[in-house]
Structure 1
Amino acid sequence: TIRDWAAEAPVVIVGCADPTKAGDKAGKPYYMLDMGISMEHLILAAHDRGLGTCWLGGQFDEEVVREALGVPESHRVVALTPLGYPDESPAAKDRKQDEELV
């Protein structure tokens, strides 16, 4: 499972945000979007360098992570991403041609 191999990763990046410092629009805070953009840039850069990673959002117990790492109550744990060199490189899945999508 994802949790099994994620637990074996040499590094796990933990994306945290302080909701009080995020902008908002119509009363909706942007910290989740901001963290999502940041984590996706990190994941793409890691992949470009041959590192394996995977977005883990909502697949963890925020309180367990917060306690284990000493994340202050004022912050939210938004996402995790394990990071390391993969043991294997599975073949790419077949993709639809652009013409099929447009």
Structure 2
Amino acid sequence: QPWRFVVLTDPRMKTELAHAMEAEFARDLEKDGQSSDVIQKRINRSRERMANAPVVILLCVDMTDMDAYPDSPRKKAEYIIATQSAANAGMQMLLAAHAEGLGGVWVCSPIFAQATVQKALKLPKSWEPQAMFLLGYPLETPAARERKSVDEITKFVTAGKTGAS
């Protein structure tokens, strides 16, 4: 179980975390060529979403209990396995929340500010922030996002034949 969860319900802590991440977010957006107006709007939106979510859950990967290998390819594979496992735990949590009538948003920003998030929340060094989930009861049902068709993302392979469908 290489996943770790940090649950934030205190409004002050959620706001402090958002503020801690803002400078890094702004630098990244600036590198992407975003205007100062766009940067400020995105930072404000991010801060408001975190502060207004009743619960913020940070998902971390911890390699402490994973296998240690002497060679680079297997070290990399083990890290990928841990990350996939943590992502699966996060998705299961979101599905469970949805089944209970909660709304949830998966936010990837912690992976871009790992050291900042670790410091702000005083996390162990082995806990690597990956994502966070903003949870609460939805005020409205959002429209479904457009997704690629099954045919676009699936390849069926049968004996002697390969194809996209």
Structure 2 letter corresponding to 1:17: V
Pairs aligned (count): 100
The residue number in structure 1 matching 2:57 is: 13
Q: How far did 1:97 drift?
A: 7.5
1:86 maps onto 2:141 in alignment: no
The residue number in structure 2 matching 1:55 is: 106
Deviates more, 1:85-94 or 1:30-39: 85-94
Percent identity, aligned pairs only, is: 34
Instruction: Tell me the TM-score normalized by structure 2.
Output: 0.51
CA distance in 1: counterparts of 2:58 and 2:87, whole angstroms: 12
Structure in which a larger fraction of residues adopt helix: 2
The residue number in structure 1 matching 2:116 is: 64
CA distance in 2: counterparts of 1:67 and 1:97, whole angstroms: 41
Q: How far did 1:52 drift?
A: 1.0
1:27 maps onto 2:78 in alignment: no
Instruction: Mark the runs of 5 or more structure 2 residues left unpaired by the alignment.
Output: 1-41, 153-164
Instruction: Tell me the TM-score normalized by structure 1.
Output: 0.76
Higher-Rg member (1/2): 2
Q: How far did 1:89 drift?
A: 1.4
Structure 1 letter corresponding to 2:65: K
CA distance in 2: counterparts of 1:65 and 1:86, whole angstroms: 26
